[in-house]
Amino acid sequence: MPTILSDKHLQGFIRDNEYKGIENQVKAAHQALHTKKGLGQEFTGWLTLPYDYDKDEFARIKTAAKKIQQNCDIFVVIGIGGSYLGARAAIEFLKSPNYNALCKDTPQIYYTGNSISSNALAELLEICEGKEISVNMISKSGTTTEPAIAFRVFRELLEKKYGKEGMKDHIFCTTDKAKGTLKSLADREGYETFVVPDDIGGRYSVLTAVGLLPIAVAGADIDALMRGAKEAADKFNNDDLYTNDCYKYAAIRNLLYRKGKSTEILVSYEPAFTLMNEWFKQLYGESEGKDNKGIFPASVIFSTDLHSMGQFIQDGSRNLFETVVLFDQCQREIIIGNDPENLDKLNFLEGKTMAYINRKACEGTILAHNDGGVPNIVLNVAKMDEFELGYLIYFFEKACAISGYLLGVNPFDQPGVESYKKNMFALLGKEGFEDRKAELEARLK
Ligand code: PA5
Protein backbone atom coordinates (compact mmCIF):
# COMPACT_ATOMS: atom_id res chain seq x y z
CA MET A 1 0.00 0.00 0.00
CA PRO A 2 1.84 3.19 -1.12
CA THR A 3 1.11 6.33 0.91
CA ILE A 4 -0.55 6.01 4.28
CA LEU A 5 -1.31 8.85 6.59
CA SER A 6 -0.80 8.28 10.28
CA ASP A 7 -2.60 10.57 12.73
CA LYS A 8 -1.04 8.94 15.79
CA HIS A 9 0.96 12.06 16.60
CA LEU A 10 -1.99 14.41 16.41
CA GLN A 11 -3.45 13.20 19.67
CA GLY A 12 -4.22 16.11 21.92
CA PHE A 13 -4.24 18.48 18.94
CA ILE A 14 -7.36 17.33 17.04
CA ARG A 15 -10.39 15.71 18.62
CA ASP A 16 -12.49 13.06 16.82
CA ASN A 17 -15.58 15.26 16.77
CA GLU A 18 -13.66 17.90 14.82
CA TYR A 19 -13.46 15.53 11.84
CA LYS A 20 -17.26 15.30 12.00
CA GLY A 21 -17.42 19.07 11.84
CA ILE A 22 -15.41 19.30 8.63
CA GLU A 23 -16.77 16.14 6.95
CA ASN A 24 -19.43 17.87 4.89
CA GLN A 25 -17.05 20.61 3.78
CA VAL A 26 -14.69 17.93 2.47
CA LYS A 27 -17.57 16.29 0.60
CA ALA A 28 -18.50 19.67 -0.90
CA ALA A 29 -14.88 20.30 -1.93
CA HIS A 30 -14.73 16.87 -3.59
CA GLN A 31 -17.98 17.56 -5.41
CA ALA A 32 -16.79 20.99 -6.59
CA LEU A 33 -13.51 19.56 -7.88
CA HIS A 34 -14.97 16.53 -9.62
CA THR A 35 -17.97 18.26 -11.18
CA LYS A 36 -15.73 21.14 -12.28
CA LYS A 37 -17.92 23.67 -10.47
CA GLY A 38 -15.28 24.99 -8.07
CA LEU A 39 -13.05 28.05 -8.29
CA GLY A 40 -10.45 27.82 -11.06
CA GLN A 41 -12.13 24.74 -12.56
CA GLU A 42 -10.57 25.53 -15.95
CA PHE A 43 -7.20 24.45 -14.49
CA THR A 44 -8.15 21.01 -13.20
CA GLY A 45 -6.83 18.94 -16.10
CA TRP A 46 -4.24 17.34 -13.78
CA LEU A 47 -7.11 15.52 -12.01
CA THR A 48 -7.64 13.00 -14.81
CA LEU A 49 -4.16 13.28 -16.35
CA PRO A 50 -3.04 9.80 -15.16
CA TYR A 51 -5.87 8.34 -17.32
CA ASP A 52 -6.11 10.67 -20.30
CA TYR A 53 -2.58 11.94 -20.91
CA ASP A 54 -1.61 12.19 -24.57
CA LYS A 55 -0.14 8.75 -25.36
CA ASP A 56 1.30 9.84 -28.71
CA GLU A 57 3.16 12.70 -27.10
CA PHE A 58 4.29 10.37 -24.32
CA ALA A 59 5.91 8.13 -26.97
CA ARG A 60 7.48 11.20 -28.60
CA ILE A 61 8.93 12.23 -25.21
CA LYS A 62 10.64 8.84 -24.90
CA THR A 63 12.05 9.12 -28.43
CA ALA A 64 13.33 12.64 -27.79
CA ALA A 65 14.86 11.53 -24.48
CA LYS A 66 16.78 8.74 -26.26
CA LYS A 67 18.02 11.18 -28.90
CA ILE A 68 19.14 13.63 -26.19
CA GLN A 69 20.88 10.85 -24.26
CA GLN A 70 22.76 9.90 -27.43
CA ASN A 71 23.71 13.31 -28.75
CA CYS A 72 24.80 15.34 -25.73
CA ASP A 73 27.01 15.43 -22.64
CA ILE A 74 24.99 18.18 -20.99
CA PHE A 75 21.24 18.68 -21.04
CA VAL A 76 20.20 22.18 -20.01
CA VAL A 77 16.70 22.60 -18.61
CA ILE A 78 15.52 26.21 -18.84
CA GLY A 79 12.45 27.15 -16.81
CA ILE A 80 11.25 28.67 -13.54
CA GLY A 81 8.64 27.85 -10.88
CA GLY A 82 6.30 25.13 -12.06
CA SER A 83 8.25 24.88 -15.30
CA TYR A 84 11.36 23.69 -13.49
CA LEU A 85 10.88 22.54 -9.90
CA GLY A 86 8.97 19.31 -10.56
CA ALA A 87 11.50 17.96 -13.05
CA ARG A 88 14.47 18.76 -10.82
CA ALA A 89 12.72 17.43 -7.72
CA ALA A 90 11.88 14.14 -9.42
CA ILE A 91 15.38 13.69 -10.85
CA GLU A 92 17.08 14.37 -7.52
CA PHE A 93 14.59 12.13 -5.71
CA LEU A 94 14.85 9.22 -8.16
CA LYS A 95 18.50 9.48 -9.12
CA SER A 96 20.38 11.59 -6.59
CA PRO A 97 21.23 15.18 -5.70
CA ASN A 98 24.67 14.03 -6.95
CA TYR A 99 23.22 12.82 -10.25
CA ASN A 100 25.71 14.83 -12.32
CA ALA A 101 28.68 13.17 -10.61
CA LEU A 102 27.18 9.68 -10.82
CA CYS A 103 25.45 9.52 -14.24
CA LYS A 104 27.10 7.21 -16.77
CA ASP A 105 24.87 6.55 -19.80
CA THR A 106 22.79 9.69 -19.50
CA PRO A 107 23.81 13.33 -19.86
CA GLN A 108 24.56 15.62 -16.97
CA ILE A 109 21.57 17.89 -16.31
CA TYR A 110 21.82 21.55 -15.36
CA TYR A 111 19.04 24.01 -14.65
CA THR A 112 18.98 27.65 -15.62
CA GLY A 113 16.48 30.43 -16.28
CA ASN A 114 15.33 30.07 -12.67
CA SER A 115 16.97 33.33 -11.60
CA ILE A 116 18.41 36.47 -13.16
CA SER A 117 21.87 35.86 -11.75
CA SER A 118 24.54 36.49 -14.38
CA ASN A 119 27.03 34.72 -12.09
CA ALA A 120 24.98 31.54 -12.25
CA LEU A 121 24.42 31.71 -16.00
CA ALA A 122 28.05 32.58 -16.76
CA GLU A 123 29.18 29.64 -14.63
CA LEU A 124 26.92 27.27 -16.55
CA LEU A 125 28.23 28.58 -19.87
CA GLU A 126 31.73 27.81 -18.62
CA ILE A 127 30.68 24.28 -17.64
CA CYS A 128 29.25 23.81 -21.15
CA GLU A 129 32.48 24.81 -22.91
CA GLY A 130 33.69 22.06 -25.26
CA LYS A 131 30.70 19.84 -24.45
CA GLU A 132 27.84 18.55 -26.64
CA ILE A 133 24.70 20.32 -25.44
CA SER A 134 20.94 19.99 -25.78
CA VAL A 135 18.43 22.42 -24.35
CA ASN A 136 14.85 22.07 -23.15
CA MET A 137 13.19 25.48 -22.91
CA ILE A 138 10.04 25.18 -20.79
CA SER A 139 7.51 27.99 -20.42
CA LYS A 140 3.76 27.66 -20.55
CA SER A 141 3.16 31.33 -21.19
CA GLY A 142 6.26 31.54 -23.35
CA THR A 143 6.95 35.03 -22.06
CA THR A 144 8.48 34.60 -18.61
CA THR A 145 11.51 36.87 -18.43
CA GLU A 146 13.98 34.70 -16.49
CA PRO A 147 13.90 31.64 -18.79
CA ALA A 148 13.50 33.83 -21.90
CA ILE A 149 16.82 35.57 -21.12
CA ALA A 150 18.61 32.23 -20.56
CA PHE A 151 17.13 30.79 -23.77
CA ARG A 152 18.32 33.75 -25.80
CA VAL A 153 21.85 33.24 -24.41
CA PHE A 154 21.80 29.49 -25.12
CA ARG A 155 20.39 29.93 -28.65
CA GLU A 156 23.31 32.21 -29.40
CA LEU A 157 25.72 29.60 -28.05
CA LEU A 158 24.08 26.73 -29.94
CA GLU A 159 24.02 28.68 -33.19
CA LYS A 160 27.77 29.32 -32.89
CA LYS A 161 28.36 25.67 -32.09
CA TYR A 162 26.04 23.83 -34.48
CA GLY A 163 24.88 26.48 -36.99
CA LYS A 164 21.26 27.53 -37.57
CA GLU A 165 20.28 24.21 -39.17
CA GLY A 166 22.26 21.95 -36.83
CA MET A 167 20.96 23.58 -33.65
CA LYS A 168 17.45 22.36 -34.44
CA ASP A 169 18.50 18.88 -33.30
CA HIS A 170 19.55 20.27 -29.95
CA ILE A 171 16.58 22.41 -28.95
CA PHE A 172 13.31 21.13 -27.49
CA CYS A 173 10.56 23.53 -26.41
CA THR A 174 7.74 22.76 -23.99
CA THR A 175 4.99 25.35 -24.14
CA ASP A 176 1.39 26.11 -25.09
CA LYS A 177 0.07 24.00 -27.96
CA ALA A 178 -0.85 26.96 -30.14
CA LYS A 179 -0.12 30.40 -28.75
CA GLY A 180 2.62 32.49 -27.16
CA THR A 181 6.01 33.89 -28.08
CA LEU A 182 7.87 30.63 -27.46
CA LYS A 183 5.48 28.60 -29.60
CA SER A 184 5.81 31.06 -32.52
CA LEU A 185 9.59 31.16 -32.16
CA ALA A 186 9.86 27.34 -32.02
CA ASP A 187 7.59 26.88 -35.05
CA ARG A 188 9.44 29.50 -37.07
CA GLU A 189 12.86 28.07 -36.25
CA GLY A 190 11.79 24.42 -36.58
CA TYR A 191 12.40 23.25 -33.00
CA GLU A 192 10.53 20.17 -31.74
CA THR A 193 7.75 21.17 -29.33
CA PHE A 194 5.90 19.50 -26.48
CA VAL A 195 2.69 20.69 -24.91
CA VAL A 196 1.72 22.16 -21.56
CA PRO A 197 -2.03 21.45 -21.63
CA ASP A 198 -4.32 24.50 -21.42
CA ASP A 199 -6.08 23.15 -18.35
CA ILE A 200 -2.96 22.46 -16.27
CA GLY A 201 -1.14 25.26 -14.45
CA GLY A 202 2.63 25.31 -13.97
CA ARG A 203 2.80 23.95 -10.45
CA TYR A 204 0.50 21.02 -11.35
CA SER A 205 2.41 20.19 -14.54
CA VAL A 206 5.19 17.82 -13.46
CA LEU A 207 3.38 14.81 -14.95
CA THR A 208 3.08 16.52 -18.36
CA ALA A 209 5.92 16.99 -20.86
CA VAL A 210 7.16 19.78 -18.53
CA GLY A 211 8.49 17.21 -16.10
CA LEU A 212 8.44 14.04 -18.14
CA LEU A 213 11.04 14.97 -20.78
CA PRO A 214 13.83 15.91 -18.33
CA ILE A 215 12.89 12.99 -16.06
CA ALA A 216 13.10 10.57 -19.00
CA VAL A 217 16.43 12.08 -20.11
CA ALA A 218 17.78 11.27 -16.62
CA GLY A 219 16.92 7.63 -17.33
CA ALA A 220 13.95 7.32 -14.98
CA ASP A 221 10.96 5.10 -15.81
CA ILE A 222 8.17 7.52 -16.72
CA ASP A 223 5.69 4.66 -17.32
CA ALA A 224 6.04 3.65 -13.67
CA LEU A 225 5.68 7.30 -12.63
CA MET A 226 2.35 7.56 -14.45
CA ARG A 227 1.23 4.17 -13.08
CA GLY A 228 1.86 5.45 -9.55
CA ALA A 229 -0.16 8.60 -10.24
CA LYS A 230 -3.01 6.50 -11.63
CA GLU A 231 -3.00 4.27 -8.56
CA ALA A 232 -3.37 7.41 -6.40
CA ALA A 233 -6.09 8.82 -8.66
CA ASP A 234 -8.03 5.53 -8.27
CA LYS A 235 -7.51 5.41 -4.55
CA PHE A 236 -8.30 8.99 -3.62
CA ASN A 237 -11.44 9.20 -5.71
CA ASN A 238 -14.07 8.99 -2.98
CA ASP A 239 -15.37 11.72 -0.71
CA ASP A 240 -15.05 9.80 2.55
CA LEU A 241 -12.73 11.67 4.88
CA TYR A 242 -12.24 8.60 7.05
CA THR A 243 -10.93 6.31 4.32
CA ASN A 244 -9.41 8.80 1.89
CA ASP A 245 -5.99 9.71 3.32
CA CYS A 246 -5.52 12.48 0.79
CA TYR A 247 -8.69 14.25 1.96
CA LYS A 248 -7.88 13.51 5.58
CA TYR A 249 -4.53 15.27 5.13
CA ALA A 250 -6.33 18.31 3.64
CA ALA A 251 -8.86 18.29 6.49
CA ILE A 252 -6.18 18.01 9.19
CA ARG A 253 -4.25 20.93 7.68
CA ASN A 254 -7.41 23.04 7.73
CA LEU A 255 -8.32 22.08 11.31
CA LEU A 256 -4.81 22.91 12.50
CA TYR A 257 -4.86 26.23 10.63
CA ARG A 258 -8.07 27.17 12.44
CA LYS A 259 -6.20 26.61 15.71
CA GLY A 260 -3.49 29.06 14.74
CA LYS A 261 -1.07 26.55 13.25
CA SER A 262 -0.28 28.76 10.28
CA THR A 263 3.08 27.25 9.25
CA GLU A 264 3.46 23.73 7.91
CA ILE A 265 6.95 22.27 7.84
CA LEU A 266 7.43 19.42 5.39
CA VAL A 267 10.00 17.10 6.91
CA SER A 268 12.11 14.42 5.31
CA TYR A 269 15.01 12.40 6.60
CA GLU A 270 16.37 11.95 3.05
CA PRO A 271 18.58 14.67 1.50
CA ALA A 272 17.33 13.52 -1.92
CA PHE A 273 13.94 14.94 -0.89
CA THR A 274 15.28 18.51 -0.69
CA LEU A 275 13.94 19.58 -4.08
CA MET A 276 10.65 17.76 -3.46
CA ASN A 277 10.35 20.07 -0.46
CA GLU A 278 10.81 23.03 -2.82
CA TRP A 279 8.24 21.62 -5.25
CA PHE A 280 5.80 21.17 -2.35
CA LYS A 281 6.38 24.73 -1.14
CA GLN A 282 5.56 26.16 -4.54
CA LEU A 283 2.49 23.94 -4.93
CA TYR A 284 1.01 24.88 -1.57
CA GLY A 285 2.37 28.42 -1.31
CA GLU A 286 1.09 29.55 -4.68
CA SER A 287 -2.18 27.65 -4.35
CA GLU A 288 -3.22 28.71 -0.86
CA GLY A 289 -1.44 31.97 -0.11
CA LYS A 290 -4.01 34.53 -1.22
CA ASP A 291 -6.86 36.74 0.01
CA ASN A 292 -4.77 37.28 3.18
CA LYS A 293 -5.12 33.58 4.01
CA GLY A 294 -3.07 30.40 3.81
CA ILE A 295 -0.68 28.11 5.61
CA PHE A 296 2.94 29.18 5.09
CA PRO A 297 4.80 26.16 3.66
CA ALA A 298 8.28 25.60 5.04
CA SER A 299 10.59 22.62 4.88
CA VAL A 300 13.50 20.92 6.58
CA ILE A 301 15.73 17.91 6.03
CA PHE A 302 16.42 16.06 9.27
CA SER A 303 18.60 15.27 11.00
CA THR A 304 20.63 17.98 9.16
CA ASP A 305 18.28 20.80 10.13
CA LEU A 306 17.78 19.57 13.68
CA HIS A 307 21.14 21.24 14.15
CA SER A 308 19.89 24.55 12.76
CA MET A 309 16.09 24.76 13.00
CA GLY A 310 15.55 22.14 15.71
CA GLN A 311 15.66 24.67 18.53
CA PHE A 312 12.95 26.83 16.96
CA ILE A 313 10.68 23.92 16.15
CA GLN A 314 11.02 22.52 19.66
CA ASP A 315 10.71 25.75 21.54
CA GLY A 316 9.95 28.83 19.43
CA SER A 317 6.63 30.37 18.32
CA ARG A 318 3.90 27.73 18.59
CA ASN A 319 2.26 28.32 15.21
CA LEU A 320 3.84 25.24 13.62
CA PHE A 321 2.87 21.76 12.56
CA GLU A 322 4.99 19.20 10.77
CA THR A 323 4.23 16.75 7.98
CA VAL A 324 6.84 14.01 7.97
CA VAL A 325 7.38 11.98 4.80
CA LEU A 326 8.93 8.64 5.74
CA PHE A 327 10.29 5.93 3.49
CA ASP A 328 9.99 2.34 4.71
CA GLN A 329 12.84 0.90 2.64
CA CYS A 330 16.12 2.44 1.74
CA GLN A 331 17.82 1.71 -1.56
CA ARG A 332 21.40 1.41 -0.34
CA GLU A 333 22.20 0.20 3.14
CA ILE A 334 25.22 0.78 5.37
CA ILE A 335 25.78 -1.34 8.48
CA ILE A 336 27.79 0.02 11.39
CA GLY A 337 30.93 -2.07 11.93
CA ASN A 338 32.85 -3.02 15.09
CA ASP A 339 35.77 -1.11 16.51
CA PRO A 340 37.51 -3.37 19.07
CA GLU A 341 38.83 -0.33 20.90
CA ASN A 342 35.51 1.52 20.75
CA LEU A 343 37.40 4.82 20.75
CA ASP A 344 34.41 6.69 19.36
CA LYS A 345 32.06 4.97 21.85
CA LEU A 346 29.79 3.87 19.04
CA ASN A 347 29.86 0.10 19.59
CA PHE A 348 26.31 0.25 20.96
CA LEU A 349 25.34 0.77 17.30
CA GLU A 350 27.36 -2.18 15.98
CA GLY A 351 25.40 -4.28 13.49
CA LYS A 352 22.65 -1.69 13.18
CA THR A 353 21.76 -0.28 9.78
CA MET A 354 21.86 3.48 9.20
CA ALA A 355 18.21 3.26 8.13
CA TYR A 356 17.37 1.88 11.57
CA ILE A 357 19.30 4.67 13.28
CA ASN A 358 17.63 7.26 11.04
CA ARG A 359 14.21 5.82 11.97
CA LYS A 360 14.99 6.06 15.69
CA ALA A 361 16.13 9.66 15.19
CA CYS A 362 12.80 10.34 13.52
CA GLU A 363 10.73 8.65 16.22
CA GLY A 364 12.62 10.49 18.95
CA THR A 365 12.17 13.80 17.14
CA ILE A 366 8.45 13.38 16.56
CA LEU A 367 7.88 12.62 20.24
CA ALA A 368 10.06 15.55 21.34
CA HIS A 369 8.27 17.95 18.99
CA ASN A 370 4.90 16.63 20.16
CA ASP A 371 6.00 17.36 23.73
CA GLY A 372 6.92 20.86 22.56
CA GLY A 373 3.38 21.40 21.22
CA VAL A 374 3.97 20.63 17.55
CA PRO A 375 1.39 18.34 15.90
CA ASN A 376 2.93 15.80 13.49
CA ILE A 377 1.24 14.27 10.47
CA VAL A 378 3.16 11.26 9.16
CA LEU A 379 3.04 10.05 5.54
CA ASN A 380 4.47 6.56 5.11
CA VAL A 381 5.83 5.80 1.65
CA ALA A 382 7.22 2.36 0.75
CA LYS A 383 10.36 3.42 -1.10
CA MET A 384 12.00 6.01 -3.29
CA ASP A 385 11.07 4.81 -6.77
CA GLU A 386 9.11 6.08 -9.76
CA PHE A 387 5.82 4.43 -8.84
CA GLU A 388 5.81 5.80 -5.32
CA LEU A 389 6.84 9.23 -6.55
CA GLY A 390 3.97 9.37 -9.05
CA TYR A 391 1.66 8.36 -6.22
CA LEU A 392 3.04 10.99 -3.85
CA ILE A 393 2.87 13.75 -6.48
CA TYR A 394 -0.78 13.05 -7.16
CA PHE A 395 -1.50 12.77 -3.42
CA PHE A 396 -0.04 16.24 -2.78
CA GLU A 397 -1.69 17.80 -5.85
CA LYS A 398 -5.15 16.57 -4.96
CA ALA A 399 -4.77 17.37 -1.26
CA CYS A 400 -3.69 20.87 -2.29
CA ALA A 401 -6.80 21.42 -4.40
CA ILE A 402 -9.08 20.19 -1.60
CA SER A 403 -7.16 22.29 0.94
CA GLY A 404 -7.65 25.38 -1.23
CA TYR A 405 -11.37 24.78 -1.50
CA LEU A 406 -11.63 24.20 2.27
CA LEU A 407 -9.87 27.52 2.77
CA GLY A 408 -12.23 29.25 0.32
CA VAL A 409 -9.56 30.31 -2.19
CA ASN A 410 -8.93 29.53 -5.85
CA PRO A 411 -6.07 27.01 -5.64
CA PHE A 412 -5.25 27.32 -9.33
CA ASP A 413 -4.43 30.98 -9.90
CA GLN A 414 -1.49 33.13 -8.77
CA PRO A 415 -2.49 36.78 -9.23
CA GLY A 416 0.06 37.97 -6.67
CA VAL A 417 3.01 36.86 -8.82
CA GLU A 418 2.23 39.62 -11.33
CA SER A 419 3.05 42.53 -8.99
CA TYR A 420 6.82 42.14 -9.02
CA LYS A 421 6.79 41.55 -12.78
CA LYS A 422 4.94 44.80 -13.45
CA ASN A 423 7.38 46.71 -11.25
CA MET A 424 10.41 45.07 -12.85
CA PHE A 425 9.15 45.80 -16.38
CA ALA A 426 8.39 49.40 -15.41
CA LEU A 427 11.84 49.92 -13.88
CA LEU A 428 13.46 48.35 -16.95
CA GLY A 429 11.58 50.78 -19.20
CA LYS A 430 9.35 48.28 -21.03
CA GLU A 431 6.81 49.90 -23.31
CA GLY A 432 3.40 50.41 -21.71
CA PHE A 433 4.68 50.78 -18.13
CA GLU A 434 5.71 54.48 -18.28
CA ASP A 435 3.36 55.80 -15.55
CA ARG A 436 4.33 53.11 -13.09
CA LYS A 437 8.03 53.75 -13.81
CA ALA A 438 7.85 57.37 -12.66
CA GLU A 439 5.93 56.45 -9.52
CA LEU A 440 8.31 53.61 -8.58
CA GLU A 441 11.42 55.66 -9.23
CA ALA A 442 10.08 58.40 -6.95
CA ARG A 443 9.54 55.82 -4.20
CA LEU A 444 13.05 54.44 -4.63
CA LYS A 445 14.75 57.85 -4.29
O1 PA5 B 1 2.76 27.58 -11.20
C2 PA5 B 1 2.86 28.50 -11.97
O3 PA5 B 1 1.95 28.79 -12.77
C4 PA5 B 1 4.12 29.33 -12.06
O5 PA5 B 1 5.05 28.97 -11.09
C6 PA5 B 1 4.77 29.16 -13.41
O7 PA5 B 1 5.07 27.80 -13.60
C8 PA5 B 1 6.03 30.01 -13.54
O9 PA5 B 1 5.74 31.34 -13.26
C10 PA5 B 1 6.60 29.88 -14.93
O11 PA5 B 1 5.66 30.26 -15.88
P12 PA5 B 1 5.81 29.88 -17.40
O13 PA5 B 1 5.76 28.40 -17.51
O14 PA5 B 1 4.64 30.53 -18.06
O15 PA5 B 1 7.13 30.44 -17.87
**CB-count exposure of residue 164 (10 Å: 0-12, 13-18, 19+):** exposed
Give the side-chain half-sphere CA count within 13 A for 145: 13
pLDDT of 4 = 87
Q: Whose CA is nearest to atom 15 of ligand 1?
A: 139
208 Cβ inside 6 Å of ligand 1? no
**Residue 81 identity (one-letter amino acid):** G
202 alpha carbon to ligand 1 midpoint, in Å? 5
For the question of residue 421 being annotated catalytic, the response is: yes
Marked catalytic residue, from 421, 434, 439, 441: 421
81 alpha carbon to ligand 1 midpoint, in Å? 5
pLDDT of 24 = 97
202 Cβ inside 6 Å of ligand 1? yes
pLDDT of 3 = 59
For the question of residue 307 being annotated catalytic, the response is: yes
321 alpha carbon to ligand 1 midpoint, in Å? 28
Per-residue pLDDT of the chain (445 residues; tens, 9 = 90+): 455 899 999 999 999 999 999 999 999 999 999 999 999 999 999 999 999 999 999 999 999 999 999 999 999 999 999 999 999 999 999 999 999 999 999 999 999 999 999 999 999 999 999 999 999 999 998 889 999 999 999 999 999 999 999 999 999 999 999 999 999 999 999 999 999 999 999 999 999 999 999 999 999 999 999 999 999 999 999 999 999 999 999 999 999 999 999 999 999 999 999 999 999 999 999 999 999 999 999 999 999 999 999 999 999 999 999 999 999 999 899 999 999 999 999 999 999 999 999 999 999 999 999 999 999 999 999 999 999 999 999 999 999 999 999 999 999 999 898 889 889 999 999 988 888 998 999 999 9
pLDDT of 1 = 46
Q: CA 390, 82, 274, 368 torsion: positive or negative?
A: negative
CA of 141, closest atom in ligand 1: 14
How many beta carbons lie within 10 A of that of residue 72, not counting itself?
Answer: 21
Report helix, strand or coil for 311. Answer: helix
Q: Are strands 263-268 and 4-6 parallel, antiparallel or unpaired?
A: unpaired
